[in-house]
Amino acid sequence: MKIYKLIIVLPLLLISLNSSAQKGPGRERIKTLKVAFLTERLDLSSKEAQQFWPIYNEHEDVMETIKRDERAQIRERGFDINSLSDEEASALLAEFLKIKKRKEFAEQKFLTQMQSVISDKKIILLIKAEEDFKRRLLQQMRNRRN
């Protein structure tokens, strides 16, 4: 059974590596590790994997765009919080709220799409696996610094 999953996951990995090649080798390696981690944790059937990965990759792209917009808002302003006027602070807060709403909408859309592909239990496993992956990644980064 494991060999069949490998046969399905390998082409998906290659596609995702190809699409993320422009993002640099560090991000590419992290994405590859994340795909392998999620694949192992979710134990997707071949049918589930074929439907899951395109939706998941699209969601990751949308979230990356939103995060990039959020970072651009902060860098673009290049502000000192203490020097913000009340009007500027209100405008900045309004922008952050818009970004938060975009994130929330994207998450809701993603989870709704996933419900037609995998079970609710696997969706919960996905959420937990993503958190576990982030935790492991941060731990490894801390360990390398020390």
Percent of the chain with pLDDT over 70: 80
Domain boundaries along the sequence of the chain:
2-69+100-145
* pLDDT score, position 81: 75
pLDDT at 3 over 90: no
Mean pLDDT of 72-91: 77
Range list of H helices, 43-85: 46-77
Mean pLDDT of 112-141: 95
Cα distances (Å, whole numbers) of residue 126 to 81, 83, 119, 120 = 37, 42, 10, 10
* pLDDT score, position 6: 41
Q: Which of 84, 87, 16 lies closest to 52, judged by CA?
A: 16
* pLDDT score, position 23: 55
Give pLDDT tens digits for 17-66.
444 444 567 888 899 999 999 999 999 998 999 999 999 999 999 999 99
Give pLDDT tens digits for 42-56.
999 989 999 999 999
- 2-10 LR contacts (CB < 8 Å, sep 24+): 4/46, 5/39, 5/44, 5/46, 5/49, 8/46, 8/49, 8/50, 9/35, 9/36, 9/39, 9/49
